[in-house]
Structure 1
Amino acid sequence: MTEQSSRHNTTFTTDGREAYGYLALPPSGQGPGVIVIQEWWGLDDHIADLTERLAAEGFVAFAPDLYGGRVAHESDDALRMMQELPVEEGVRRLSGAVDYLLAHPAVTSDKVGAIGFCMGGGFVLLLAAREGDRIAAAVPFYGVIQGELPDFSGLRAAVQGHYGQDDPTVPVESLAPLAEAIEKGSGQAPEFHLYPAGHAFVNDQRPSYHPASAELAWQRAVAFLHRHLDPAA
């Protein structure tokens, strides 16, 4: 089952066309910019809530809608929608979101952070590899990279990843080759954390939610984003 998302409050131009997203401002009205990249379900309430939580932490947080307003509620629909989005097209749309955020008057940073979950976690690394110096911090949560590992030679962001020890979607044994590829390509080693949880352990709307792991990972991610985007905070 799919439905139209109600989580849109702004439009932006990306890949030569108008797109939609969810923008949340911090209490001060300004702060460093962070792109929030959706799971395969779409821009749903969970992603909007995480965007609001980042804003409450002092960031200008922006979640672009990669599915054009569609949200899936069943895994078969989510898989189909993910497969209907070519990876390169998804990265181009996210690049437009980076343009939008860096040009926003509320954004105080000259670089942005990127944080993503599941499908979005994979896109975090692909976007950072493409955008170079424009991404200061890349934070994938149980990121699913579709296809072969990319060329990380363009990656300039610091990377902090969060993964479940019992996640069959992103097996623990896949992390060493990923870390090696990132370090070989970019010259810097990523910071990976493992948790006693499965896939999607941050998603409190799913049975996979693991509160203790989610809270610890969130604290680490927020501190990491502040450290690389807002060192004075």
Structure 2
Amino acid sequence: MASKNNPSLSVFLILILAVILTACAAQPATTENAKESAAGANQVADAAEPGQSTNADLTRSEDSAGMEIMAGETAYYLTTDGYLARPAAEGKYPAVIMIHEWWGLNDNIRDMARQLAAEGYVVLAVDLYNGQVAQNSSIAGQLAGAVRQDTEPALENMKAAVNFLKARDDVIPDKIASMGWCFGGGMSLQLALTGTPLAATIIYYGSLETDPEKLAAIKQPVLGIFGDQDTGIPVATVLEFNSTLGSIGVPRDIYIYPGVGHAFANPSGANYAPEETMDAWQKTLDFLARNLKQ
């Protein structure tokens, strides 16, 4: 882990000038350099045993990155299954545990898994709802609330997913990251707090922890993507999260986009912000490449 005084530990706060000045005043100058970045600059089978996967629905496709992928594979791990997308070419690749929003493992998450696989990653989109997918916010809230009340089964689910990937012949076992949006962003952080060995953690507007004793379990770099209009995760909480990570020496890139709210990267949601989403996605790819491909 790098020293907390390492100048490379920068927080990238994408905020209007007034907010940046406030942020800089609130953060230890010894642990981070706050700087602006323009948002939107880059366009961007039932019979299987747990731990196995089936190829009955396997299809080949190409994403915008041009890498042929194998998608539609059902991955069986623990007592549930997930969605696996991977490069078609033989070889060993870094991998990502992808964690769904509060809606569940739906088509949007499957599409994101395919997009990321086309960038050269084996992607396992986990299912923390045991096959349930919410069709409205009321059901989504109930499903997410049940997990939050008892997180242990979800944590065991994600740990099993990590072990599933580590055991695969096409995965580099020490190059596995977790990422999630909304509910999944919070669960990505919760997995990191267990001390599970990971190469990186990515949080898209997920619930945060600011207790330094709990955050001390994190040994890997963290990427955080947030909107300054997200009332559920206030800017002040994001800044405290960043400052605390800096004080204990955790490498992190934290971005706060102005004028966008919660779930701004969900193309099917009311808060969708396409320019900010493309910029955040490019930052995600850059972060993964630095920490999983180098």
TM-score (normalizing by structure 1): 0.87
Question: Where does residue 83 of structure 2 map in the other structure?
Answer: 22
Q: Percent identity of the aligned residues? A: 34
1:168·1:198 contact (CA, 8 Å) conserved in 2? yes
8 Å Cα contact 2:212-2:245 kept in structure 1? no
SS at 2:214 equivalent = coil
Does residue 1:177 correspond to 2:226, yes or no?
Answer: no
- 1:187-226 to 2 correspondence within 5 Å? 187-196=249-258, 197-226=260-289
Aligned residues of 1:27 and 1:55 also touching (Cα < 8 A) = no
Residue 122 of structure 1 contacts residue 145 of structure 1 at CA under 8 Å; is this kept in 2? yes
- How far apart in 2 are the matches of 1:159 and 1:40? 21
State the partner residue of 1:41.
103
Question: Does residue 112 of structure 2 align to residue 50 of structure 1?
Answer: yes
Alpha-carbon distance, 1:8 to partner:
7.0
Give distance in 2, aligned partners of 1:227 and 1:96.
Answer: 25
Compute the displacement of 1:149 (Å). Answer: 8.3
The match for 2:123 is 61
Structure number with higher helix proportion: 1
Question: Which residue of the partner structure matches residue 3 of structure 1?
Answer: none
CA distance in 2, matches of 1:75, 1:8: 28
Residue 146 of structure 1: how far off its partner (Å): 8.4
Q: Is the 8 A contact 2:220 2:250 kept in 1?
A: no
Q: 2:138 aligns with which of 49, 60, 76?
A: 76
Are 1:12 and 2:74 an aligned pair?
no
The letter for the 2-side match of 1:59 is: Y
Give the 3 Å change call, closer, same or farther, for CA 88–182 of structure 1 in structure 2: farther
* Superposition CA RMSD, Å: 2.1
Cα distance, 1:117–1:124 mapped onto 2, change above 3 Å: same
Of 125, 132, 138 in structure 1, the residue corresponding to residue 189 of structure 2 is: 125
Contact 1:164 1:195 survives alignment (8 Å): yes
Deviation at 1:143, TM superposition (A): 0.8
SS of 2:129's equivalent in the other structure is coil
1:96 to 157, 160, 164: 160
Q: Which residue, 111, 120, 135 being the options, matches 2:175?
A: 111
- Residues 125 and 111 from structure 1, CA distance in 2 versus in 1: closer, same or farther, beyond 3 angstroms? same
Long gaps (5+) in structure 2: 1-56, 58-71
Q: How far 1:115 sits from its partner (Å)?
A: 0.8
Cα deviations by residue, 1:3-54 (Å, 9 ceiling, x for unpaired): xxx98712112xxxx1110000024344101110111110011111111111
SS in 2 for 1:170: coil
How much does 1:72 deviate? 0.5
Shift of 1:129: 2.2
| Alignment partners' CA distance in 1, 2:154 and 2:213 | 14
Structure 1 residues 178 and 147: CA distance shift in structure 2, 3 A: closer
**Whose RCO is larger (CA < 8 A, sep 6+)?**
2
Deviating more after overlay: 67-76 vs 173-182:
173-182
Cα drift, residue 158 of structure 1? 0.1
Partner residue of 2:203?
A: 140
Q: Is the 8 A contact 1:179 1:189 kept in 2?
A: no
Which whole-Å CA distance do the structure 2 matches of 1:71 and 1:8 have between them? 18
Distance 1:182 1:118, change over 3 A: same
Q: Contact 1:87 / 1:146 at 8 angstroms: preserved in 2?
A: no
Normalising by structure 2, we get a TM-score of: 0.70
CA distance in 1: counterparts of 2:83 and 2:127, whole angstroms: 8
